[in-house]
Amino acid sequence: MKICVLSDTHGHISHIKDRLIHLDQEVDAFWFLGDYAKDGKLLKKFLKKEIYIVKGNCDLHALEPEDQILVVEGKRVLLTHGHRYNVKNTLTTIYLKAKSSEVDLVCFGHTHMALNVKEEGIVLFNPGSPTSPRGHVRPSMGIIIIREESVLCEHIWL
């Protein structure tokens, strides 16, 4: 399964709309990791693929869950925005959540900084932000390919 992952759009998805429409033809689903969950809902209006949405710290009145665990191709995946796990300061808390939840992959945002690390078999992936990146990097999203035998995460630099 091939998934496009994005986070932290903060109400500014118009300039990436064409790119997402193009990706809609290439991927099986979209995962939106919060901060402007309403952007994820807006994507549902022009994308054909299924969109999973979790809310972030800027989504105070959103009804979406803060965390969601999916099973994809036999792999367990945690979707979260990351703010509840202090990801701006440490990856330890989110890693411990991943271990206790017995997931293979954690997708999170909040920092606006792309990240792809593997620790003791658990992949921690942050797609960065396609609209307001931090840390002197280009805007980005993520592509994840999940198979029974592997999880491959990479960034799309915009």
Could you read off the pLDDT of 111-146 as tens digits, one per residue?
999 999 999 999 999 999 999 888 878 999 999 999
Whole-structure pTM value: 0.95
Per-residue CA distances from 154 to 2, 110, 120 (Å):
11, 18, 19
**Who has greater pLDDT, 42 or 94?**
94
pLDDT of residue 137: 80
pLDDT of residue 136: 73
pLDDT tier at 22, thresholds 50, 70, 90: very high
- Counted residue by residue, the chain has a size of 158
Q: Domains in the chain, ordered, with CATH?
A: 2-157 (3.60.21.10)
CB count in 10 Å sphere of residue 9: 26
Kindly report the average pLDDT of the chain as a whole number. 95
